[in-house]
Amino acid sequence: MARAGSKAFPVPEHDHAACIGDAMAMAEDLCRENGLRFTRLRRQVFELVWTSHAPLGAYDLLAMLNERGQRAAPMTIYRALDFLMAHGLVHRLNSRNAYIGCNHPGDGHAGQFLICRDCGRVAEIEERRIAEAVRDGASRAGFDVRLPVIEIEGQCFDCRGARHG
């Protein structure tokens, strides 16, 4: 393949409309199958979250929403985000106070995030070996893992390329 291991971060010039489209379709399906109400507001917020592969703050989303003619208050956004997070459609990045779309939801699945220092983009990965190592390491301390959150700051393939050739 052209770019070994670069699947998690989309190439800069990718078709982002397709990302959004796929995410929306997936969310529609999930909500239909689970009898959840994917209301206009929730749909809008979800779409806004997906405008970028970098996480967006709640007040960023609020501003974007209101630029589209709405006049929502902070609560409105937070409630929509709560719904989306509860069903795994969006994740919160604790280290950034910001929110990122998820493309393989499922209630409350734990996150492993790669956060690029340079471009700010975030990729979610799902490595069994990490989850296993966490479970084992915790159990050595007599600890029962419920919700492991892994936020890995570093440098993505594209940004490393930009610097080091």
Partner DNA sequence: TTTGTTATGTTATAATATAGCAATAAGGGT
Partner DNA sequence: ACCCTTATTGCTATATTATAACATAACAAA
What part of residues 109-138 is at the interface with its own copies (CB under 8 A)?
A: 112, 114, 116-117, 123, 125, 127, 129-130, 132-134, 136-138
Q: Of 4, 13, 33, 107, which one interacts with its own copies (CB under 8 A)? A: 4
Applying CB under 8 A, the site for its own copies has a residue count of 44
Q: Is 34 near its own copies (CB under 8 A)?
A: no
8 A C-beta contact, residue 43 and residue 81: no
8 A C-beta contact, residue 161 and residue 123: no
Q: Which two tokens stand for residue 68?
A: 């589209």
Q: Which two tokens stand for residue 90?
A: 């969006």
Closer residue to DNA (CB): 80 or 89 = 80
8 A C-beta contact, residue 62 and residue 72: yes
User: 3-class DSSP state for residue 140?
Assistant: coil
Where along the sequence are the contacts to its own copies (CB under 8 A)? Answer: 3-9, 94-95, 112, 114, 116-117, 123, 125, 127, 129-130, 132-134, 136-157, 160
